């Protein structure tokens, strides 16, 4: 069941959201609740806003800094006399 929201987002059941987010387990979904992923209970069923939930997940992605290049060393082939 999908519930349309006035802001253009849509509420989908938690199980559908977890499938779209990589088919993660219920335990991972509960961890997301503690970390701040938006959800609401309606009629004893947990729903998540699709756009807001996916943007929350995207904001949690950590990017590694690219490895630094080795500093350029001066040419040491000419020896000092």
| Encoded tokens for 26 | 């219920």
DSSP 8-53: S-EEEEHHHHHHHTTS--HHHHHHHHHHT---EEETTEEEEEHHHH
pTM as predicted: 0.71
Residue 76 confidence (pLDDT)? 66
**Domain spans in the chain, listed from the N-terminal domain onward:** 3-59
Q: How far is CA 24 from the centre of its chain?
A: 12
Tens digit of pLDDT at every position of the chain (81 positions): 899 999 999 999 999 999 999 999 999 999 999 999 999 999 999 999 999 999 999 999 888 888 888 777 776 666 656
- Distance from C-alpha of 58 to C-alpha of 79, rounded to nearest angstrom: 55
Residue 41 confidence (pLDDT)? 95
């Amino acid at each position: 069941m999908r519930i349309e929201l006035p802001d253009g987002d849509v509420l989908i059941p938690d199980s559908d959201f977890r499938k779209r987010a990589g088919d993660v387990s219920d335990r991972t979904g509960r961890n997301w609740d503690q970390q701040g992923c938006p959800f609401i209970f309606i009629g004893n069923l947990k729903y998540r806003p699709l756009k807001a939930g996916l943007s929350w997940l995207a904001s949690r992605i950590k990017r590694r800094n690219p490895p630094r290049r080795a500093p350029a060393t001066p040419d040491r082939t000419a020896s000092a006399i």
